[in-house]
Copies of this chain bind each other. A is one copy, B any other.
Amino acid sequence: MMVGLDAEARAPDEAEVIPDTVRFGNDGVDYGPLAHWAGFHLRMAQIASFHAFAKESQEVDLNPGRFALLTLIDRNPGISQTALSKAYGRDKSTLTPALNDLKRRGLIARVRLARDRRSYHLTLTPAGRAMLKRLTECAVRHERKLERIIGAREKARFLRILAKIAFQVG
């Protein structure tokens, strides 16, 4: 824990300098135009972040990609599959296998409501809430690691740019 606190205390200073040496092309590989492209950087950061989260949560027997889904269903009980797929950035057909998996494992319940019989509405089961609690602990550790890399001063601006991309690039 002390290591974590020390590193957090250092974060504001680190944020002052984002070293120029941390970039694609300084590792002996020629990245061509990719070295300057946001699309490629986003992809590489996301792959690395996902792998790190998977490692952080390896003792939990669930695809770490399901964490955001469980959180969204927990925070919005009764959410429709359509609203969930929109919030999750996936179309319904991509989401369905993931929801089937969560249902099979007894982590979510799908009900049809009298007021809207056309679509499923989703809630977490008690097992789903327990699973979310464990995954959230892993996510908090992972997020602390990301924050130390990003730097406390940079974080808000960095997140707003990412949100702008998420909402506007489509």
Question: Which residues of A are at the interface with B, using a C-beta cutoff of 8 A?
Answer: 18-20, 22-24, 27, 29-34, 36-53, 55, 68, 71-72, 74-76, 79, 83, 87, 89-90, 136, 139, 142-143, 145-147, 149-151, 154-155, 157-170
Q: Would A31 and B168 count as touching, CB distance under 8 A?
A: no
Would you call A39 and B146 a contact (CB within 8 A)?
A: yes
Are A90 and B34 neighbours in the complex by a CB distance under 8 Å?
no
Assess the B162–A146 pair: CB atoms within 8 A.
no
**Given A46-B43, A48-B169, A49-B42, residue A72 in contact with residue B18 (CB < 8 A):** no
Number of copies: 2
- Residue of chain B at shortest CB distance from A24: B163
A168–B143 touching, CB < 8 Å: no
B49 touches A169 (CB 8 A): yes
Residues in chain B near residue A160, CB distance under 8 A: 18-20, 22-23
- Chain B residues in 8 Å Cβ range of A154: 157, 161
Residues of B within 8 A of A89 (CB): 43-44, 47-48, 51
When chains A and B are docked, how far (Å) is the Cα of A55 from the Cα of B45? 22
Q: Is the Cβ of A168 less than 8 Å from the Cβ of B29?
A: no
Complex: how many Å from CA A34 to CA B71? 8
> In the bound complex, do residue A38 and residue B165 qualify as a contact, i.e. CB atoms below 8 Å apart?
no
Name the B residues within 8 Å of A55 (CB-CB).
Answer: 170
